[in-house]
């Protein structure tokens, strides 16, 4: 029997990148998966792919910065599958990279609303569902190496990612007595659409020099490698891990 047979996982930002890979990894482990993102066509395609592989998936269009959407997302997962065991709060945007004196208030609000407020809203409604069921559970927030490393021009993104660590440690302390574990994964340079956009912003030469000179393993990570880390943190094999920051970055932060 698959490791997570009969369990239910909810993944936000599931339409691409790490979220998509995580949904597939949960399905491969036997979990039924609720997919959430703003791009509904991509969610429908992923649900079909999971079904073609013998898994079960449902999807719901969700903007994690909107409380009503997040409440509906969690309710949908519970209504379709009858429970919620795991949640992965992966939805996020990088926003624009600009100097602080030029950075617009509108862009600041948009990045913080999705990355930080969105994580808060997801935790709020996911925790409520798990507490009501009294079955415990595991939640993984997806941060970044920029959850503890800043860079010029990235004030909003870096601030939102730093905030996710505070949310994780606080909510972990609150929910641990009820058997709900909360951790955060902070990936390094991963081959995802977000990093493809970053390459376009900073240029191939600078991007390749960062990967080649800054990552101990000398390569970008794969979304599937981060997905495996997330699924592990939700599994019984990680039953004594909570409130922890896990940094799958190929050694990048050891070079900074």
Q: Where are the beta strands (DSSP E) in the chain?
A: 8-12, 32-37, 57-61, 86-89, 137-142, 180-185, 245-246
Query: Which whole number is the average pLDDT over 235-255?
Result: 92
For residue 31, name the pLDDT band (cuts at 50, 70, 90): very high
Torsion angle of the four alpha carbons 170, 174, 177, 180, in this order, in degrees rounded to the nearest 10: -70
* Between 146 and 110, the higher pLDDT residue: 110
pLDDT per residue as tens digits for the range 180-237: 999 999 999 888 877 676 666 667 776 777 777 788 988 888 999 999 999 999 999 9
Q: How far is CA 34 from CA 18, 46, 143, 162, in A?
A: 15, 11, 20, 27
Q: What pTM did the predictor assign? A: 0.94
Buried b (16+ CB within 10 A) or exposed e, 187-206: bbbbebeebeebbeeeeeee
Number of domains in the chain: 1
Above 90 in pLDDT, residue 118?
yes
Q: Which residues participate in catalysis according to the annotation?
A: 157
Q: Decide if 198 is inside a domain.
A: no
Give me 63's structure tokens. Answer: 């903007």
Above 60 in pLDDT, residue 1?
no
Q: Decide if 169 is inside a domain.
A: yes
Q: Lowest-confidence range among 8-12, 111-115, 150-154, 192-196? A: 192-196
For residue 255, name the pLDDT band (cuts at 50, 70, 90): low
Give me 217's structure tokens. Answer: 């393993």
Q: Decide if 203 is inside a domain.
A: no
For position 156, which CATH number holds? 3.40.50.720
Q: Which domain holds residue 90?
A: 8-189+223-255
CA–CA separation, 89 vs 14, rounded Å?
10
């Amino acid at each position: 029997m698959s490791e997570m047979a009969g369990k239910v996982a909810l993944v936000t930002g599931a339409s691409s990148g790490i979220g998509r890979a995580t949904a597939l990894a949960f399905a491969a482990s036997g979990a039924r998966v609720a997919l959430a993102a703003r791009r509904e066509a991509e969610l429908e395609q992923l649900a079909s792919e999971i079904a073609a592989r013998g898994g079960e998936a449902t999807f719901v269009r969700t903007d994690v910065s909107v409380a009503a959407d997040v409440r509906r997302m969690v309710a949908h997962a519970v209504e379709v599958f009858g429970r919620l065991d795991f949640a992965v709060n992966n939805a996020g945007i990088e926003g624009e990279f600009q100097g602080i004196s030029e950075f617009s208030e509108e862009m600041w609000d948009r990045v913080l609303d999705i990355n930080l407020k969105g994580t808060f809203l997801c935790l709020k409604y996911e925790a409520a569902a798990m507490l009501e069921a009294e079955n415990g559970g595991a939640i993984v927030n997806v941060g970044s190496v920029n959850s503890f490393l800043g860079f010029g021009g990235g004030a909003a993104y870096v601030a939102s990612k730093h905030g996710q660590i505070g949310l994780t440690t606080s909510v972990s302390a609150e929910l641990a007595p009820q058997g709900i574990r909360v951790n955060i994964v902070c990936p390094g340079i991963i081959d995802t659409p977000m990093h493809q956009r970053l390459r376009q912003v900073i240029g191939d030469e600078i991007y390749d020099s960062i990967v080649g000179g800054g990552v101990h393993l000398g390569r970008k990570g794969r979304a599937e490698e981060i997905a495996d880390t997330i699924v592990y943190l939700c599994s019984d094999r990680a039953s004594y891990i909570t409130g922890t920051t896990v940094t799958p970055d190929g050694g990048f932060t050891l070079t900074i």
